[in-house]
Structure 1
Amino acid sequence: MRSRHHDIADDLKRQITTGRIKPGDRLPSEVGLASQYKVSTATLRSALAVLQGEGLVEKIHGKGNFVRHRLRKIMYVGGWGTLDPWTAAEAAQHVTDRATEIEAHGHLAALMRVPNGSPLTEFLSISYQGESPHSLARIYVPRDQESSDGLGTGPSYVRTEESFAVLSPLAVEVRETISARPPTPDEASTLRINPTTAVLAITRVAADTAGRVVEAALLVFPGDRVDAVFTTHHVTGERQAQG
């Protein structure tokens, strides 16, 4: 037997797809909708969870449930650590950053190849399409490399669209590990996605000619909002002989 919350989700979806409820519109309160459909708030929230899982509705803490603007996919260019400028510009992206001074411990110290307690600067970067968060990154830089990376030194600043998660100019070797997984509670909250939505997680470590890590980045993209492209250049026999 079909659940009542699926019927409610279908009715709201129909209103959204036909334009009766438009992108950016705030839905009535959960209590109001529950009263309208003559169900409990728990049932109503289950219906909204269906729409949130399909990317049609997002819940903004303290404000309510809103119909999502359709988010365009962007392209992450592997090996360069940047967003493709064409897709980034077309999607009207903007990026906010917050810098925090921290110390490396445990997994982070191992990732940066530094002793526990080493000083780092963490940059929390969130990209937006309009008002909707699109992707996030935590970028770690050794404190003595911060100014040379061009990432800025203030506690808060904004970078342009295609420079989101850009690599340090000192990097000569880049290692990227990619996995698909459920988001952490913090990631789901920041990106305003359903906890069951898969994310594309990229761990990127960049080193200089001496093997020193100049930057480590933990990048998270909702799986339905990004394509990751990696290009491999093979060395021909002729070029090997010339080397």
Structure 2
Amino acid sequence: MPPALSRRHVIADDIRNKISTGQIKDGERLPSEAQLASGYAVSTATLRSALAVLHGEGLVEKIHGKGNFVRYPLRRITYIGGGRAPRREPSAASELTVSVRTTRLQAHGQLIGLLGVSAKSPLTELLCLSHQGKSPHSLARIYVPRDLSPTDLPTESHCYEGVEAKLAELRPPLAEVQERVCARPPTPEEATTLRISSAMAVLAITRVAADRTGRVVEAALLLLPGDRADALFTTHHMTHERTSGE
């Protein structure tokens, strides 16, 4: 016989079923934790443990000072390897917006190695936070040398490609793009910004692009929550046909 489910999983299953059957609607606030604990006849600690299961699945989010809410289903995006920014599926084109905040700073810490510059070199950071409706979707921090930073970046765009196009106007042709992908838990700051559980895995992509002289012209730190993102890498193999004289 299969092992009996723990009380927290029984509660999580019940709430999950109410969400899937529409008894609790997308965006609806759940009863308070005290009310839920009383209704399920468990301690507050057990109830919070059950909610943590749902937080980890991305079904429920906790908004500080407001309570627990059923998440609206978020569109999946696909990260295309090879130097492209995150690309949405066509059906999501009208549902995601990207807010852009530009900050001037000096190279420090990790940025010195990523961009291959000396400490305090002038850089521009583009903090790009995408939203679906009111829900944060994904996060990108893009760093470029100050001389390659556009002065007319929009503060809001309907896609990452709009930001990428502006950067490409000043950027020399790319010769090499290196991408490092790892799955990890979010930091507390990342979890708060994206309103996700600290137990949810994220795809963290570090992308470094260099021009033909070897100069790094862009370094990007991309963060894509695992419940709404895929990464696609395609390798094209060149084949050479032999001629009859070879």
TM-score by length of 2: 0.85
Superposed displacement of residue 86, structure 1: 3.9
Match of 1:27 in 2: 30
Structure 1 residues 204 and 124, CA, compared in 2 at 3 Å: closer, same or farther? same
Does residue 1:159 correspond to 2:162, yes or no? no
- Runs of 4+ with deviation above 4 angstroms: none
Superposed displacement of residue 224, structure 1: 2.8
Would the aligned equivalents of 1:88 and 1:161 in 2 still touch at CA under 8 Å?
Answer: no
Q: Which amino acid aligns with 1:99?
A: T
Does residue 1:174 correspond to 2:177, yes or no? yes
1:35 counterpart SS class: helix
Per-residue CA shift, 1:161-206, capped at 9, x if unaligned?
2427737422412111111222222222222222222211110011
Question: How do residues 76-225 of structure 1 correspond to structure 2 at under 5 angstroms?
Answer: 76-84=79-87, 86-87=89-90, 89-90=92-93, 92-147=95-150, 151=153, 157-163=155-161, 166=164, 168-169=167-168, 170=171, 171-172=173-174, 173-225=176-228
Q: Percent identity?
A: 59
* Residue 53 of structure 1, aligned match among 53, 56, 73: 56
Instruction: Work out the CA distance in 1 between the residues paired with 2:94 and 2:26.
Output: 16
Superposed displacement of residue 138, structure 1: 0.9
Structure 2 unaligned segments of length 5 or more: list them.
242-246
Structure 1 unaligned segments of length 5 or more: list them.
239-243
Superposed displacement of residue 210, structure 1: 1.9
Instruction: Work out the CA distance in 2 between the residues paired with 1:165 and 1:48.
Output: 37
* Residue 228 of structure 1, aligned match among 192, 208, 231: 231
Would the aligned equivalents of 1:81 and 1:165 in 2 still touch at CA under 8 Å?
Answer: no
Q: Which amino acid aligns with 2:36?
A: L
Match of 1:7 in 2: 10
Instruction: Work out the CA distance in 2 between the residues paired with 1:57 and 1:35.
Output: 19
* Residue 68 of structure 1, aligned match among 68, 71, 75: 71
